[in-house]
Structure 1
Amino acid sequence: MSLKRFLTSSAFFKNLVVALVIVIVFLFAIVKFLDFSTNHGEEINVPDITKMKLEVAEEKLDEEGLEVFLLDTVDFKPEFPPYTIVEQDPRPGSKVKDGRKIYVKLNAGGFSTVTLPDLINKTFRQAANTIRTLGLQEGKLKYVPNIAKDVVLEIHQNGKKLKAGDKILKNSTIDFVLGDGKELFSDENDSIPSQEQDSIE
């Protein structure tokens, strides 16, 4: 049988149809296998692991088929227990695939210390901006007689006088002693004119 006759014969078309069916079935089987191996359509709700110790979070995520990856330790946040997770990505409730890594940040064990700069003779506004930048908080203000109004004369913490260079914990409360802008004359100064008058006499 010549090639031309074979290509136009019914046997050729039957074989062609069978071959196409086999190819289609094979491709369908591959797609199904890939769907199964990649958990296509199956998603996991990310649990809330904030305020958990890292070891506890690892166990919980492992049960869900997820992994935890520590990114960094952040400055201490008092609303979270020490050494617990303060941030996670993806966030709780997000839908992810099996095996996805959950990136977390850990709370520090406590407040770090800062060095107190020289704030004496600074205006209260300047001093307040400086301590906020350092992570400190403004406390009580006490005014005493002094010609320099709203200028820092002393700094205290829990009744203890502080000086430049002292180490204090972040989030500490700092109290200020400020000038009230008034100048009081002492009894000595008040008596000078009378003394001068006596000497003249």
Structure 2
Amino acid sequence: MSIFQFLKNKSFFKQITIAVIGFVILFFILKFWLNITTNHDQKIQVPNLHKLTIDEAERKLKELSLDFKVKDSASYNPDYPKRSVIEQSPEAGDFVKEMRKIYLTLNPSKYRDITIPDLNGRSKRQAISELQAIGFVVGIKYTYVKDIGKDVVRGLRHKEKILNPNDKLPKNSIIDLVLGDGNRN
């Protein structure tokens, strides 16, 4: 039997017809199954969770059948309450499906602690630059002590308490400089 005779044979056409019908039926079954399992056309709008505590955010998300995960803590932001949501992903107003996770970033309870460097013997300008670079605020109230070096750092204070190198203070703390007055007598 040659190939041309086989292609003209009725059994070949029956098999092709059965294969096409089977493919079409399989296609519609698969499409129906995917619509059911993927919740196609279901939309839940993500609420705005900014400035809410973790408990308030959890309640709000459970009402909408959404889940959440705390991703990380950001740098402290004084504009937000302590331990409140500072960022969320997906953003408020985006659409998601049921039981999807919303990733939350929380505001820490305070600024992180920074180690005080040893600035003894440095100039006032160097000390101010270094303290500001690592996140402190330098106060404008300078204390002068008798020393041969004028405007040379002889100590640091925070709220009238003497600071030692390697002490820790929260970022944005105000540090006052103790400087030499330039008179040895």
Q: Find the counterpart in structure 2 of residue 43 from structure 1.
A: 43
- The higher radius of gyration belongs to 1
> How far did residue 38 of structure 1 move?
0.8
Where 1:175 maps in the other structure, the secondary structure is strand
> How far did residue 100 of structure 1 move?
2.0
Give the root-mean-square deviation of aligned CA atoms: 3.5
> How far did residue 127 of structure 1 move?
1.9
The percentage of counterpart residues that share the same residue type is: 33
Q: Find the counterpart in structure 2 of residue 153 from structure 1.
A: 154
Q: Find the counterpart in structure 1 of residue 71 from structure 2.
A: 71
> How far did residue 141 of structure 1 move?
4.6
The residue type equivalent to 1:70 in the other structure is V
1:168 pairs with 2:169: yes
Distance 1:114 1:16 in 2: 76
Where 1:83 maps in the other structure, the secondary structure is coil
CA deviations 1:87-130 (Å, max 9, x no partner) are: 22222223333322112222222334444232222123332343
CA deviations 1:8-67 (Å, max 9, x no partner) are: 8xxx87x97688557535522431331232122333322221222222212222222321
Where 1:122 maps in the other structure, the secondary structure is coil
Structure-to-structure mapping, 1:67-106, within 5 angstroms: 67-106=67-106
- TM-score by length of structure 1 reads 0.67
In structure 2, relative to structure 1, the CA distance for the partners of 1:110 and 1:143 (3 Å cut) is: closer
In structure 2, relative to structure 1, the CA distance for the partners of 1:117 and 1:7 (3 Å cut) is: same
Distance 1:125 1:95 in 2: 53
Distance 2:115 2:63 in 1: 45
1:7 pairs with 2:3: no
Residues 141, 178 of structure 1: 8 Å contact kept: no
Tell which deviates more after alignment, 44-53 or 23-32. 23-32
Tell which deviates more after alignment, 85-94 or 24-33. 24-33
Runs of 4+ in 1 over 4 A off after TM superposition: 3-6, 15-23, 143-147
The residue type equivalent to 1:67 in the other structure is D
> How far did residue 68 of structure 1 move?
0.6
Q: Which structure features the higher share of helix residues?
A: 1
Structure 2 unaligned blocks of 5 or more: 1-5
Residues 140, 174 of structure 1: 8 Å contact kept: no
> How far did residue 74 of structure 1 move?
3.8
> How far did residue 133 of structure 1 move?
4.5
Where 1:151 maps in the other structure, the secondary structure is strand
Residues 52, 84 of structure 2: 8 Å contact kept: yes
> How far did residue 140 of structure 1 move?
1.0
In structure 2, relative to structure 1, the CA distance for the partners of 1:26 and 1:122 (3 Å cut) is: same
- TM-score by length of structure 2 reads 0.71
Distance 2:17 2:161 in 1: 95
Residues 156, 163 of structure 2: 8 Å contact kept: yes
Q: Find the counterpart in structure 2 of residue 195 from structure 1.
A: none
Structure 1 unaligned blocks of 5 or more: 187-201
Where 1:88 maps in the other structure, the secondary structure is strand
Distance 1:152 1:127 in 2: 7
Distance 2:85 2:48 in 1: 10
Tell which deviates more after alignment, 119-128 or 142-151. 142-151
